[in-house]
Amino acid sequence: MRVLMIGAGGVGDAAAKIAVDRDFFEVFVVADYDISRAQRTVELVKARRPGERRFHAIQVDASSAEDVAGLIRLVGATHVLNAVDPRFVMPIFTGCLAAGAGYLDMAMSLSRRDPDEPFAKAHVKLGDEQFAMAQQWEQRGILALVGIGVEPGLSDVFARYAVDHLFSEVDELGTRDGANLAYRHPDGHEGFAPGFSMWTIIEECLNPPVVWEKARAEAGGSVEAGFFTLPPFSEPEVFDFPEGIGPVECVQVEHEEVLLMPRWLDANRVTFKYGLGEQMISILKALNMLGLDSTDPITIKGVEVAPRDIVAAVLPDPATIGPQLTGKTCAGVLVTGTGTDGNPRRTYLYHVADNEETMRDYGAQCIVWQTAFNPVIALELLATGAWQGSGVLGPEAFDAVPFLELMAAPKPAGYGIEWGIDER
């Protein structure tokens, strides 16, 4: 396997640091528009493993499918890991198809809201542009594994495991994500900093959240008929997260799990709720009210710039905030329904990342590290043949057991990453 990773930001940097300890690939090329970032990542991973020669840095324009395809051919990549924000999904995705390389991402193609009833009807959904090309991938016999970060990704693997092994009937697959992270400026006073791309946070949280219901799908005659939307921040609930995080208010947020799980898993309802917290919700509402969430360029002193890009630029870089963060983050799925014993069951399958530990072991803040290890595990499963397929598939299309076993197995055979099951 020859891996080309596009993007050397926080998640890409963490993924390279995780991958360097593994031996399933021959070459790992780190590409970024800013080649100095790619070079920095390569230097850091080489320092982690003396004598390491598989990693190389190169420049790429991720907005150009032709540039991506040309780079794939140049480095002989068999698989491409997309580690940039969702704006660049389609150029990278189509570049991989043109060059015949396998593709993995952690966020899917962007949605567009219904022009007439945005808070009731789904229109162009997350991933629709990719699924529209599934037949082309199948015909070429290559795989696009979409949504293989932590959320989406690990939560989808957990959902597949629960459906296969823990439940006879599922009422709801409810992804729930929360944290107790706190950020302090270098001078010690409390501040605000997003744990991942603020551009993506605005996109996810201010778009109409999507919910899927089987009854609607059956009435409409297709999986697609089961999707509908709600206003942002709908259906608040207090969710008690494990391992000391505690209760966090969660709200409906647009996310890929809802668009992926119903395609392969049998459940009556699929939802995603995120523990944003009062501060983040207030900030997002203010940005929306002021028009600072817009991606339409405006002219400021002769320079065209999108307001959302300004917001993202003035906030701390998620890749650099690790030393100022304290606390933990949790990702998982709450599955409710009937257990295999015929009794009612409520089970939360989850993973918790502690920022102190991820900074100590990888020099990466916990949110980006928790996202990054999943595509690396998936790449290893593809390299060994434990996972095989073609077309455009989500993580829940594959057997969850090989993933979870490799994830939890002690190093060096596995990744030594524990996950939990909490019966409620």
Average pLDDT of the residues of the chain:
94
* pLDDT attached to residue 15: 98
The per-residue pLDDT for 342 is 97
Q: What's the mean pLDDT in 388-415?
A: 98
Residue 113 has a pLDDT of 93
Instruction: Set out the domains of the chain in order of their start, with CATH numbers.
Output: 2-112+126-149+371-417 (3.40.50.720), 154-368 (3.30.360.10)
User: Could you read off the pLDDT of 238-270 as tens digits, one per residue?
Assistant: 999 999 999 999 999 999 999 999 999 999 999
**278-296 pLDDT, tens per residue?**
778 888 888 888 898 888 8
Per-residue pLDDT, 14: 96
What pLDDT band is residue 184 in, cutting at 50, 70 and 90?
confident
Share of the chain above pLDDT 90, in %: 81
Mean pLDDT value of segment 39-65: 96
Three-state secondary structure readout of the chain? CEEEEECCCHHHHHHHHHHCCCCCCCEEEEEECCHHHHHHHHHHHHHHCCCCCCEEEEECCCCCHHHHHHHHHHHCCCEEEECCCHHHHHHHHHHHHHHCCEEEECCCCCCECCCCCCCCCCCECCCHHHHCCHHHHHHHCCEEECCCECCCEHHHHHHHHHHHHCEEEEEEEEEEEEECCEEECCCCCECCCCCCCHHHHHHHHHCCCEEEEHHHHHHHCCHHHHEEECCCCCCCEEEEECCCCEEEEEEECCCHHHHHHHHHCCCCEEEEEECCHHHHHHHHHHHHHHCCCCCCCEEECCEEECHHHHHHHHCCCCCCCHHHEECEEEEEEEEEEEECCCCEEEEEEEEEEEHHHHHHHHCCCHHHHHHHHHHHHHHHHHHHCCCCCCEEECHHHCCHHHHHHHHHCCCCCCCCCCCEEEEC
| pLDDT tens profile 319-370 | 777 787 889 999 999 999 999 999 999 999 999 999 999 999 999 999 999 9
Q: Is the pLDDT of residue 204 over 90?
A: no
Per-residue confidence (pLDDT) for residue 188, from 0 to 100: 72
Using pLDDT thresholds of 50, 70 and 90, give the confidence band for residue 214: very high
Is 225 a residue whose pLDDT tops 90?
yes
- The answer to whether residue 385 scores a pLDDT higher than 80 is yes
Q: Above 80 in pLDDT, residue 277?
A: no
